[in-house]
Amino acid sequence: MFGGRGPDDSANGGNDSTDDHDYRRARERMVDRLAARENFDDATLAAMEAVPRHEFVPPGRRDRAYEDRPLPIGSDQTISAPHMVAAMVDQLDLSPGESVLEIGTGCGYHAAVTAEVVGPENLYSVEYHESLAESARGQLDDLGYGDISIRVGDGHEGWPGFAPYDAAYLTAAPSDFPDAVVEQVRPGGRLLGPLESGGRLGGQRLVFARKRADGSLDREARGRVRFVPMLD
């Protein structure tokens, strides 16, 4: 695995305080629940166990950090539920060294989990809110994921400077995969994200897509989800 601290390390340099032990045990129980719920790849479960989710949660909500639910992080954004982060990492079927574009850094938790699989230097993330980008950058650096690249910008534009990517994923819901993001993924590459459904029932669907040689997408809906909308 890549990244910074392992599951036994703490944000204050590895001191085995009671709080650190409690968080570690809570994280282990979270991973056990994930493993019982779905047949996740071992690399996905190891990444989920390696990343201290409580470090990305506002202090007042850290007692709920390892519950399987989204939590608010400010700027009307949320940290996704652990099972959703695990599912998205798993469904992209990532390998070490693959180049990945993330649209929506948020607090940085999803980026850290992805970086555990592909390596921090291979992850490029775009965040709309400058305050969230700066906070995530600092937190990721403190936790040993400082090689993740983050920029402030409109996620619809992707990040052309490091394209092509092997995979891209969205952590907020647009009506469709942004054209620029699709263009920046290599032929044969994968995309994954929540998309607003225009059907009679509305809502959102998690959609997996593989880019064909002609630039079109072979799509597959992976179930109903609920994410914050992607900002224009």
**Residue positions annotated with a catalytic role:** 80
Answer whether 181's CB lies under 8 Å from 164's CB. Answer: no
**Angle, helices 82-91/109-118, rounded to nearest 10 degrees:** 30
Instruction: Assess whether the previous peptide bond of 164 is cis (omega < 30° from 0).
Output: yes
1, 112 Cβ separation under 8 angstroms: no
Cα separations in angstroms, 219 against 33, 47, 84, 121, 223: 29, 27, 19, 28, 13
Quick one: CA dihedral 131, 155, 166, 40, positive or negative?
positive
Tokens of 163: 């394209």
Q: Which of 119, 68, 226, 100 is nearest to 169 (CA)?
A: 100
> Which SS3 state, helix, strand or coil, does residue 119 take?
coil
